[in-house]
Amino acid sequence: MNALDRPWVLIAEREITTKLRDKTFLGSTAVMLLIVLVAVIVPALIAGRGGADKIAVVDDAGAKVVQQASTTKGGDGYEVTRVADQPAAEKAVINGDVKAALLPGQDGYVVLGKDRLDSGLESALREAASTVGMEANAAKAGLTPAELHAGTKVEAKLLNPGPLPDIVSDFVNIGLALVFYMTALGFGMMIAQSVVQEKESRVVEILAAAVPIRSLLWGKVLGSTVLALSQIVVIAGASLIGLLATDQSDILEVVAPVAGWFVVFFVLGFVALAGLWAVAGSLATRQEDLGSTTLPGQMILMIPFFFSVFAGSSAKTIASFVPIASSMSMPGRMLTEDVPLWQPLLAIAILLATTVLIVRLGARLYERTLLQTGRRLGYREAMALDSP
C-alpha cells in the first residue's frame, strides 16, 4: 500500500499497533472476554450439570418413578435416595439432605417438600408417576409401552424462530444497547485521549506539517473503528464458542440474521461519534480538560442508552429511528420483534446522513482547534474560529 497517497492508513496503523501493545487495553479486553464467557457458560452449567437433585423414596415403586423422571430429563436429573420409612423421609427433607421425598399416597403418590416445591421438579415427578402408572396399567391390559405411547409423540418445530420470550428479549435489548454504549464510550475516550496526548506532547505540529490535518482525523477514526469492531468480533467469537460448547447453538439461529445489521448500525454510529470524540480531544490542551470537553459526547451516548433500556415499546420504536439511539435500539428490536424491512433501512439512511454531517462538522472543528495549544476551547468558540 502506498503510504504517500494514504497517510491516514499509516496514522490508523500506528493507532492500532500502539493500542495492541497497551497493557491496559489488553487487560480490559481480557476481562470483558472473561465476563462474556462466564455469562454464556455458567448458566448452562448450572442448568445442565449442577448435580442431580436427591429424591428420597421408601419403596421400589417410588424409585422407579424417580428414575423415569431422570430419564425424561436426559439421564442424570434426579438421584434416588432410599430411606426406611415416612418419618425418615420427612427428616431428610427437613434437614435438606434431599430436595424432596416421593411417598406412596392414597391413589398414587405424595411429593414432600420443605418450604416450597420447585415447579419443574413437581411436574417432572407428576409426569413420571403418570407414565409409570399408565405403563403398568397398560401391561395389565396387554399393551407394551411402545403400543401405549404410539402416536402420542409431539415434536416442536418453528417456521420463523423468535420473537424471544419477554424476559430474554429484554436482556437482549439491554445487552446490545450496552455493547454499543460501552464500546463507543470506551473507544471514544481513547480517541479523545490520543488526540490530547499528541497536543500535550506537541508532536501534533510535526504531524500537521507532514500530512493534512484531515488525514490525521481519518486515520484516528479508522484505527479506532477497526479496533472497536475487532474487539466486538473477538468477544462475539468467544461467546459463539461458549454457546457451541454448552449446546446452546439454537440461540444462534435467532441471532445470526441480525448480526450483519448490527455491524452496519454499529459502524455508522461509531464513526459519527468518533468524529465528535476527536474534536473533544482537540478542544482540550491537557488530559484534565477532557472531563468537560467530552461531556457532550457522553450525553449523546447516555441519554439514548437509558431511553432504549427503560422506555416503553412505542417510545423504543421511535428511538430506533433517531440517529445514535438507533444504533443501540434497532438491532435489539430486530432480534426481539418482527420489524418490517423498511424500518432498519430508513433508520440506516437517517443515521448515514447524520454521520456524514457530524463527521464534516467534526473535521472542520478539528482542523481549526488541533493546533490551538494555548488553552481549552469551548464548542461554540471553536465554531467561530477561522481556519488556522
Smallest separation (angstroms) from other proteins to the CB of 20: 13
Contact status: 26 vs other proteins (CB under 8 A): no
Instruction: Confirm or reject binding of residue 204 to other proteins (CB under 8 A).
Output: yes
Q: Is 208 in the site for other proteins (CB under 8 A)?
A: yes
Count the residues of the shown chain that bind other proteins, applying the rule CB under 8 A: 25
The residue among 23 and 116 lying less far from other proteins, judged by its C-beta, is 23
Q: How far apart are CA 376 and CA 200, in angstroms?
A: 12
Nearer to other proteins, 93 or 290 (CB): 290
Indicate the residue among 285 and 320 with the shorter CB distance to other proteins: 285
Cell 492508513, residue? 9
The answer to whether the beta carbons of residues 169 and 258 sit under 8 Å apart is no
Is residue 223 near other proteins by the rule CB under 8 A? no
Among 138, 178, 240, 371, binds other proteins (CB under 8 A): 371
Cα–Cα distance measured from residue 376 to residue 222, given in angstroms and rounded to the nearest whole number: 26
Beta bridge partners of 103: 110
Does position 7 interact with other proteins (CB under 8 A)? The reply is yes
Residue with Cβ nearer other proteins (177 or 211): 211
Query: Minimum distance from CB of 3 to other proteins (Å)?
Result: 5
Between residues 110 and 206, which has the closer beta carbon with respect to other proteins? 206
Distances (CA, A) of 149 to 62, 134, 145, 153, 326: 22, 10, 6, 7, 51
Which residues between 50 and 89 bind other proteins (CB under 8 A)?
A: none
Q: Indicate whether 18 belongs to the interface with other proteins (CB under 8 A).
A: yes
Radius of gyration of the chain (CA): 30
User: Counting beta carbons within 10 angstroms of the beta carbon of residue 274, is it exposed (0 to 12), middle (13 to 18) or buried (19 or more)?
Assistant: buried
Q: Is 206 in the site for other proteins (CB under 8 A)?
A: yes
Assess 47 for contact with other proteins (CB under 8 A).
no
Beta partners for residue 57, in sequence order: 82, 102
Beta strands in 38-189 (DSSP E): 53-57, 78-82, 100-105, 108-112
Of 183 and 224, CB closest to other proteins: 224
Torsion angle defined by CA atoms of residues 253, 258, 262 and 263, in that order, rounded to the nearest 10 degrees: 80
Q: Does 388 bind other proteins (CB under 8 A)?
A: yes
Q: Is 10 in the site for other proteins (CB under 8 A)?
A: yes
Q: Tell me if 273 sits within 8 A of 301, measured CB to CB.
A: yes
Q: Which residues bind other proteins (CB under 8 A)?
A: 3-4, 7, 10-11, 14, 18, 197-198, 201-212, 371, 373, 387-388
